[in-house]
């Protein structure tokens, strides 16, 4: 059975003091939760997160695929490893839209992270225009195929996929649980084509896009949704605790 994995994504929010206060409450709840709980933090909060979180996994929100070099403003995999980071969110729609990330760079990052023994959380998702044109599955499957190019089945098992429809991120709009399930099911079928049924059935697929305590249980009840990547609702400790305790 696939492990349930719920990660918060703080994006460009939070201070070290706020994180310490947050983790005092959340870390205790995470210890008792049935799900793997995690937080995607800005680079400046990673060291504090690693130090203070005992039961919450800590993820970076980006990384460069090169080992080192003249890449002003970027952070390398070895730099993240030095502070103890294991998970990295890559290919988030905000990175794609604002910083010109492509499927090819996502693939390079995923490949480099896996080679370093780290866990990439690979984001995918369609725009409203793509959705209205009824091309969601075709678009998302193309993203996945490119992201996993050259990655072995063995390494694919070490990845997490986060399906985040762009039109639902930060808008308050959420795909219905049925619609989210259809796309996640299509992603799993696509993984079966890329690899095989056994591999596809073991890869964790999260849903993201205006997930909150009131809709998390319905989303998580779907057979192909194994977790969530949560933005705004992860900034408040009580909300995040409600998310990771959705079964209770």
* CATH number where 85 lies: 3.20.20.70
What pLDDT is stored for residue 174 in this prediction? 72
Average pLDDT, the chain: 96
Assess whether pLDDT exceeds 70 at residue 227: yes
* Structural domains in the chain (count): 1
Q: How far apart are CA 98 and CA 129, in angstroms?
A: 18
Q: How many C-beta atoms surround the C-beta of residue 233 within 10 A?
A: 19
Least Cα distance to 233 among 209, 212, 206 occurs for 212
> Is 10 marked as binding a ligand?
yes
Helices H / strands E in the chain, number of each: 12, 8
Q: What is the pLDDT of residues 167-209, one digit of tens each?
A: 887 777 778 999 999 999 999 999 999 999 999 999 999 999 9
Domain that holds residue 114: 5-244
Q: Is 170 annotated as a binding residue?
A: yes
Q: What is the mean pLDDT of residues 46-58?
A: 98
Upper half-sphere CA count for residue 134 (Cβ side, 13 Å): 0
Q: How far apart are CA 88 and CA 51, in angstroms?
A: 17
Token pair of 104, please? 């090819």
Q: What is the pLDDT of residue 248?
A: 67
pTM of this prediction?
0.96
Model pLDDT for residues 56-80, shown as the tens digit of each residue:
999 999 999 999 999 999 999 999 9
Q: With left for phi above 0 and alpha for psi between -120 and 50, is residue 165 left, alpha or beta?
A: beta
Known catalytic residues? 92, 164
Q: Is 9 annotated as a binding residue?
A: yes
Q: For residue 173, what pLDDT is reported? A: 75
Q: Which residues neighbour 132 within 8 Å (Cβ) at sequence distance 6 or greater?
A: none
Q: Is 231 annotated as a binding residue?
A: yes
Determine if residue 11 is labeled as part of a ligand binding site. Answer: yes
- The H or E element spanning position 163 is strand 160-163
Buried-state track 111-139, b at ≥16 Cβ within 10 A, e below 16: bbbbeeebbbbbbbbbbeebbeeeebbeb
Rounded distance between C-alpha atoms, residue 131 and residue 100, angstroms: 21
Work out the average pLDDT over 78-84.
Answer: 98
| Mean pLDDT, rounded, for 207-220 | 95
Distance CA 9, CA 76 (A): 20
Phi, psi of 100 (to 5 degrees): 60, 30
Closest alpha carbon to 90 in 160, 38, 35: 160
């Amino acid at each position: 059975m696939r492990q349930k994995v719920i990660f918060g994504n703080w994006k460009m929010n939070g201070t070290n003091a706020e994180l310490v206060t947050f983790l005092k409450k959340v870390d205790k709840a995470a210890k008792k939760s049935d799900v793997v709980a995690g937080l995607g933090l800005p680079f400046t909060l990673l060291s504090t997160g690693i130090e203070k979180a005992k039961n919450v996994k800590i993820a970076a929100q980006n990384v460069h695929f090169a080992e080192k070099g003249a890449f002003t403003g970027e952070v390398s995999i070895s730099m993240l490893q030095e502070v103890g980071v294991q998970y990295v969110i890559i290919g988030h729609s905000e990175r794609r839209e604002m910083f010109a990330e492509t499927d090819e760079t996502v693939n390079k990052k995923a490949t480099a992270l896996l080679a370093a023994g780290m866990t990439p959380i690979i984001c995918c998702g369609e725009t409203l225009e793509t959705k209205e044109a009824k091309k969601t599955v075709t678009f998302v499957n193309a993203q996945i195929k490119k992201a996993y190019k050259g990655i072995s089945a063995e390494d694919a098992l070490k990845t997490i996929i986060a399906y985040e429809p762009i039109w639902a991120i930060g808008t308050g709009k959420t795909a219905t649980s049925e619609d989210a399930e259809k796309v996640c099911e299509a992603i799993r079928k696509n993984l079966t084509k890329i690899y095989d049924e056994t591999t596809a059935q073991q890869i964790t697929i999260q849903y993201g896009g205006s997930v909150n305590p009131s809709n998390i249980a319905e989303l998580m009840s779907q057979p192909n949704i194994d977790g969530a990547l949560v933005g705004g609702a992860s900034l408040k400790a009580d909300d995040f605790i409600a998310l990771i305790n959705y079964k209770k």
